Amino acid sequence: MAQIFSRSADAWLRLGLTALAGVVPAALLVLAFTAVQPTDFSSDINVAEQQPVPFSHRHHAGELGISCVNCHVSAQTGASAGFPPTQTCMACHSQIWTGAEALEPVRQSLLTETPISWNRVHDLPDFVYFNHSVHVGAGVSCASCHGDVSEMALIQQVEPMTMRFCLDCHRDPHERLVGRDSVYDPGILETGERLSVFEATANITNPNALDSCNACHR
């Protein structure tokens, strides 16, 4: 009988089997771990979305020092932080930079009663019920999820916003708690003190309960 396979066939077969036994599971594991710890590549993190109006948080929140709640008024009281209506922009910009070209869409919006369509940067799935007010009330810094917006010309997502990200904090909020008074300070996480969960808010008697599914899903 003649040889069916060449000498190199064995090398190829072994390579193939190794791949099957080793590389495929390894690749799956890598995939899984990118899900656990999303990278810039696998998620929307650090992607600066172009917006209809080149609004700069660095300028407004950083250089001018306008507080978050000036525009995101319901962050303290409601589930949603709220996008400012055109009116809010024009409250100032009817006085200053009245002719600026960049602000033309804003003026048009008010003129034509057409809302501005912003591109969403922070978007949770519909089955997740995130409530801003309860986090603000507990003294969770805005920056702990949104990053230091005073450094961002265009707003971008800095945290993965995955369930694990939420759970990490719900189980051990210490790193993110700055107290109610310092919540809006964009740089607080760099400089500020952290509070224990009991110091930050008087009514969390059982921090372990915070990872019940119904905290976020209804």
Partner 1 sequence: MSPPPSHSIHGPPQAGETSGPYTLSGVTDEIAGITLNHPTRLRWTIGFGICSGLVVLWLVSIAVLFTRGVGVWGVNVPVGWGIAISNTIWWIGIGHAGTMISTLLLMTGAAWRTSLNRFAEAMTLFAVICAGTFPILHLGRPELLFWLIPHPDQLGLGPNFRSPLEWDVFAVMVYLLVSLLFWYVGLIPDLASLRDRARDRFGQIFYGVLAMGWTGSGRSWANWRRSYLIIAALGPPLVIGLEGGVSMLLAGGPIPGWHTTIFPPYFLLEAVFSGFAVVAMLAVLLRSAFGLRSLITRDHLGMLGAMMLITGLMTAYCYAMELFGAWYSSDSFERQTALDRLFGPWAWAFWGAVILNFATIQAFWIKSLRRNGLLLFAVALLVSIGMWLARYMLVVSALARDYLPSSWGDYWPSFWEWTLFAGSLGLFGWLFFLFIRFLPLISMFEIRELVDEDEPGGDQGDRS
Partner 2 sequence: MPATGKRLTLQRRTPGEGPDAPSPEPAAEPGATRREALALSSLGAMAALSACGDTPEQAVPYVREPRGVTPGEAAYYATGFMLSGVVQPVLATVREGRPVTLAGNTDHPASRGAADPFTLASILGLYDPGRETAIRRDNRIVPRSDFERMLVSARARWAAGAKLRILTGASTSPTLHRQIAQLQAVYPDAARVQHEPAFPAGAPAGPRLGEARTVISFGADPLGPGPMQTVEAGRWADLRRAARGGAEVTRLLVAEAEPTLTGARADLRLPAREDRLEILANAVGGGATGELSALERSFVAEARRALRRGRVQVLAGDTLPDRLRRRIESMGDVARPAPVLDYGETLAFDTLLSELEAGEVDTLVVLDCNPVQTAPGDIDAADLLQRGGQVIHAATQRNETSLFAEWFLPLAHPFESWSDGQAGDGSFVVTQPLARPGSDLFGPHEVLEHLLDQGGAGDLESVQETWRDRLPAPFEASWMKAVHDGIAPGGPPSSLQNAAQQNASSSEGGEGAFEVLIRPDPSVWDGRFAGNIWLQELPRPLSKTVWRNAAQISPADAARLSLEDGDLVRVRAGDAAVEAPVSIQPGLAPGAVVVTLGYGRKLGDGEAEGRGYDAYTLRTLAQPFRRAGTVEPTGERADLVTTQHHHTMNGHHFVRTVAPGEGVEHCLDTGASLYPGWESGEREWAMAIDLDLCIGCNACMTACQSENNTPVVGEEEVDKGREMHWIRVDRYYSGADENPDIVFQPVTCMHCEQAPCEMGCPVNATVHSDDGLNLQVYNRCIGTRTCQAYCPYKVRRFNFHAYSQRDPSEPEARRNPEVTVRARGVMEKCTYCVQRIQAADITARLEDRGVKEGEVVTACQAACPTGAIIFGDQKRPESAVAQAKADARAYDLLAELGVRPRTSYLARVSSRSGDAEDEA
Partner 3 sequence: MTRTLLAEFETPGALVRAAKRLREAGFERFETYSPMPVKGLDVLTRANRRRIDASALAWGLAGFALAFAVATWMSVVQYPLNVGGRPLFSWPAFFLPSFEFAILAAAIGVLVALFRTSGLPRLHNPLFDDPGFARASGDRFFIAVHADEADEDRFRAALEPVGAHDIREVGA
Binding region for partner 3 (CB under 8 A): 1-7, 9-10, 13-14, 17, 167, 211
> 56 vs 48, 60, 106, 109, 214, CA distance in Å?
11, 6, 14, 18, 36
Pick out residues in 87-106 that bind partner 2 (CB under 8 A).
87
Pick out residues in 187-216 that bind partner 1 (CB under 8 A).
none
82 interacts with, out of partner 2, partner 1, partner 3, none, CB within 5 to 8 A per kind? partner 2
Q: Among residues 180, 89, 71, which one has the least CA distance to residue 133?
A: 180
Q: Among residues 120, 147, 143, which one has the least CA distance to residue 49?
A: 120
Written as six digits, the tokens of 9 are 């066939």
Radius of gyration of the chain (CA): 24
Question: Of how many residues is the chain composed?
Answer: 218
47 binds partner 1 (CB under 8 A): no
Determine if residue 51 is left, alpha or beta; phi over 0 gives left, psi from -120 to 50 gives alpha, anything else beta: beta
Per-residue interface string for the shown chain with partner 2, residues 159-198, x marking contact by CB under 8 A: ----------------------------------------
110 interacts with, out of partner 2, partner 3, partner 1, none, CB within 5 to 8 A per kind? partner 2
Query: Which C-beta is closer to partner 2: that of 30 or that of 128?
Result: 128
Query: Which C-beta is closer to partner 1: that of 205 or that of 208?
Result: 208
CA angle (28, 31, 36) in 5-degree steps: 125
134 binds partner 2 (CB under 8 A): yes
155 secondary structure, DSSP code: -
Query: Which C-beta is closer to partner 2: that of 97 or that of 129?
Result: 129
Name the site residues for partner 1 (rule: CB under 8 A). Answer: 1, 4-5, 10, 13, 28-29, 32-33, 35-36, 38, 160, 162-165, 167
